[in-house]
Amino acid sequence: MKKILDKPYEKDEYFKKWLVGLSPRTKENYSNEYHDWYIFIGMTPIEQIKKRMHDLTTENLSERLFFENKFRAYKEYLEKRGDLKPLSVKTRLRTVASFFSRNGLPFALKRGDWESTQEQPVVQRWKITKEEVKAMYSHGNLRDRALLLVLAHSGLSEVDVSLLKIEDLKEIYEQPETEHYFIEKPREKTGEIQATCLSYEAVHDISAMLQERGNPEEGYLFVSTTKGKGGKLEVRTIHKAMRGLAEKTFGAEKAREFKTKALRSFYNSALLRADIKSEVKDLMMGHARQSARKHYDYDEVTIKEAYQRAFEYLSINGMQTRMDIKKVMDALKGVEGMNLFLQRQMEKLQEDLAKQKGATGALEKENADIKGQLVQFKVLTDLLAGKSLKQFTDELAKIVDEELVKEGIDPKQYLSTLLKVANRLSESTASS
C-alpha cells in the first residue's frame, strides 16, 4: 500500500481512542486505510462520531441509517475505482466498521453489505506439500533450515518469528531431543493468543544454530548475517530467504508463485487433516475464538497432544533420520579433529626439518674447513714422503735461503737478526 503522508485525522481524540490496544502494525495499516474513507465522507473523526450519536436518537430512518448507507456507497465507490481487488475492498470496509464499533457505535449491517459485486477470477493458490517443504529444506543453510521449520511447523507468521527472542524460550537449551517445545504468544497482527509448538525437528536445528553463535542467553532468535549483522532478522529478509529456497528447489519461474504465507497454510492443513477440534485449532492458529468459548482456559498438555497428532503431516525428517544425521555430523567433527592433529604434526615436522637443514649447513662448513686443512697437511706429507727429518730440514733451509736471496736479503744477516729478536724476547719474558 502506498504510504500516506498527510494524515490530519491522526490527532483526533476519537481516532486515537479507536487504536488503543492494537499492535503497531495494525495501527499503521488502519491509519493508511482510513484515508480513503476520510476523503470520501468529508468529515473529521469527531464530526462523524457526533453525527452518529445524534442519528441514533432520531426517529427519521434515513437519518438513523445515514452511515450504513454511506458504507454501501463507499463500497460501490471502491469497486468502481478499478485498482482494488475484492479482498482489498473488503479490507477497507473492515477498517471503517472497526472505527465505529471500537468507539461504541457499531453499524447495523448484513452479510450482503460486505460481499463484493465484482467478478472474482478463479485463483489457483499454491498449496505446498510435505515433500516440497522437505525439498526446500535440503537447499538451505543452517539458519534458513531452522527458519523454514519454525514457519512450517508452528503456524507463526513471519512478523512473529522475526520478533522471537531467546530469553522468551525458557529452557530451550535443556529441551529433550524427542519432545516438541510448547510456546504461546499474542500475535503481532491481531493481539490474539496463539498456543502452538516448535517441533523437535525445528528445535534440533535451532540448537545447532545457537551453538554456532556460542549459545547466547538473550537476543533475537534469528539474526541477520549480512546488513546489520547480529540484529533482528527483518520480515523482508525472511521472505527473501524463503524465496531463495523456493528458487533453488522449483526454479525461478515457478518460485514466483511462492508466498511465505503458504507455510502457515501448510500448518493449518496439517491441523485439519489431524481432525483437531475447531476450538483448539483456533488457538493453535492464533485465530479469535467464538465469544462463548474464549472464556474457557486451555493447558499445555491439550495443545501438545493435538500437535503430536498433527505432526504426522508436518514431519520431514523422522527421528531415526535425525539421529543418523547427528551421527554423520559427529563423525565429521571427528575427522576435522584428526585433520587438525595431523596438520599440527606436519607443521612440527617442517620446523624440525628446517632446524636439521640449519645444522647440516654448519656441518658442511666445518667439513669444508677440515678438507682445506687436510689439503695443506697433504703438502707436508708429500714433502716428507721417503725422507728423513734432517733431509727435510736441509731442503727447507735451502728453499728459504733461495727465497730470501730473490728478495735481496742476506740469509746470514737475516738469521742473525732473528736470533737477536729471539734473545730479547726471552730476556723480556724472564724479567716479567
| Per-residue model confidence (pLDDT) at position 124 | 58
* Burial degree of 316 (CB within 10 A; 0-12, 13-18, 19+): buried
Is 330 a member of any domain? Answer: no
Residue 291 and residue 168 share a domain: yes
Is 289 a member of any domain? Answer: yes
Q: What percent of the chain has pLDDT over 90?
A: 52
Residue 192 and residue 84 share a domain: no
Domain containing 404: what range? Answer: 386-432
Among 103-107, 304-308, 361-365, which stretch is predicted with the lowest mean pLDDT?
Answer: 361-365
Domain boundary pick from 114, 149, 174? 114
Sign for the pseudo-dihedral over CA of 318, 324, 328, 329: positive
CA-wise closest residue to 220 among 169, 151, 174, 285: 169
Residue 192 and residue 110 share a domain: no
Residue 108 and residue 20 share a domain: yes
Domain boundary pick from 301, 317, 333? 317
pLDDT digits (tens, 9 = 90+) for 278-303: 989 999 999 987 654 555 577 899 99
Q: Tabulate helix, strand, coil % of the chain (nearest 5).
A: 65, 5, 30
End-to-end CA distance of the chain: 114
Residue 290 three-state SS? coil
| Per-residue model confidence (pLDDT) at position 112 | 84
| Per-residue model confidence (pLDDT) at position 320 | 43
pLDDT digits (tens, 9 = 90+) for 312-341: 999 997 644 445 555 555 655 666 667 777
Residue 408 has pLDDT above 80, yes or no: no
- Compute the distance between CA of residue 166 and CA of residue 287 in angstroms, rounded to an integer: 25
C-alpha cell at 350: 617442517
pLDDT digits (tens, 9 = 90+) for 174-212: 988 889 999 999 998 888 999 999 999 999 999 999 999
Q: Measured in whole angstroms, how far is the alpha carbon of residue 106 from the centre of its chain?
A: 46
Is 222 a member of any domain? Answer: yes
Q: How many structural domains does the chain have?
A: 3
Residue 175 and residue 66 share a domain: no
Residue 353 has pLDDT above 60, yes or no: yes
Query: If you ran DSSP here, which 8-state letter would residue 9 be given?
Result: G
What are residue 66's phi and psi, to 5 degrees? -55, -50
pLDDT digits (tens, 9 = 90+) for 73-89: 999 999 998 888 888 89
Domain boundary pick from 83, 114, 145? 114
Q: Measured in whole angstroms, how far is the alpha carbon of residue 177 from the centre of its chain?
A: 22
Is 189 a member of any domain? Answer: yes
Is 343 a member of any domain? Answer: no
Is 323 a member of any domain? Answer: no
Residue 211 and residue 251 share a domain: yes
Q: What average pLDDT score do residues 42-50 get?
A: 96
* Burial degree of 150 (CB within 10 A; 0-12, 13-18, 19+): buried
- CB count, 10 Å around CB of 45? 24
| Per-residue model confidence (pLDDT) at position 413 | 75
Residue 122 has pLDDT above 80, yes or no: no
| Per-residue model confidence (pLDDT) at position 292 | 44
- Compute the distance between CA of residue 10 and CA of residue 31 in angstroms, rounded to an integer: 7
Query: If you ran DSSP here, which 8-state letter would residue 181 be given?
Result: E
Is 341 a member of any domain? Answer: no
